[in-house]
Amino acid sequence: MIFPQIRTEKIVQVNDRTRINCIESFVSPDEADITLVEIQPITGGDFIDVTSTLYLDWVYTAAESVTATVRITTDSTPVTATKTFTIISVADDLLFSDDEDILTHEGDIYRFLRLGRSSFIDMHRLAQELILEDLAKRNITNWDGTKIEKTNIFDLDEVKEWSKFLTLSLIFKSTENEVNDFFMIKSNDYKKQAEMAANRATIKLDKDVDGVVDSSPDLVSGRLIRR
């Protein structure tokens, strides 16, 4: 039997390189050897031979939901597997920081890029998710008690410092090899700077996304100040 496996990121920004990986594909002991591995990056597109690499680096140019397919051939009928994920525009991604922000602190940061990536957009997005989770833990919510979303942040510059230091912390954490190694020390240092930036931040919230500031939370105590 043939067992095609395919891994992708869940969300990819338009024009950002990503890796479609099928390296974990395998066959059962009674199956013939694999002779061909192909990846189709988008439904209706061409299948591309990746037998020698078992991955395909790709750039998507339009915001949409896409389905990638891996097809594996032995001496029997080819078997496929698919993975659907989202391509998002820069405007809809609405990240709180970008690579230009972190380059001012770490000029050679690109040497730590994950294989198949051309930026740290994925790390900025993770930092964004963690910031929104942090606001929820501080009991900063919408009027109806629902979580604050990225669209509720009135001015992204107000969370830029928080986001860039948290992103740097995440990057160095992802490269840790041993306890208390250089990367862990760097990660912890940037984490502390992120925490300080969070406590200094003055965030204005537009809770109904109507272009008008509705509230300004005190991040230290989690107290909400009506305006």
pLDDT-based confidence at residue 17 (cuts at 50, 70, 90): very high
CATH of the domain spanning 2-90 = 2.60.40.10
Query: Could you read off the pLDDT of 19-52 as tens digits, one per residue?
Result: 999 999 999 999 999 999 999 999 999 999 999 9
Interatomic CA distance for residues 115 and 97, integer angstroms = 21
Beta strand 18-21 pairing with 55-58: antiparallel
From 32-36, 38-42, 93-97, 173-177, the region with the lowest mean pLDDT: 173-177
Domain map (residue ranges) of the chain: 2-90, 94-226
What digits encode the pLDDT tens for the residues 73-84? 999 889 999 999
Q: Residue 177 in contact with residue 149, Cβ under 8 Å? A: no
Question: Is residue 162 within 8 Å of 199, Cβ to Cβ?
Answer: no
**Distance of alpha carbon 28 from alpha carbon 48, whole angstroms:** 24
pTM for the full predicted model: 0.90
**DSSP strand pairing (11-13 vs 79-88):** parallel
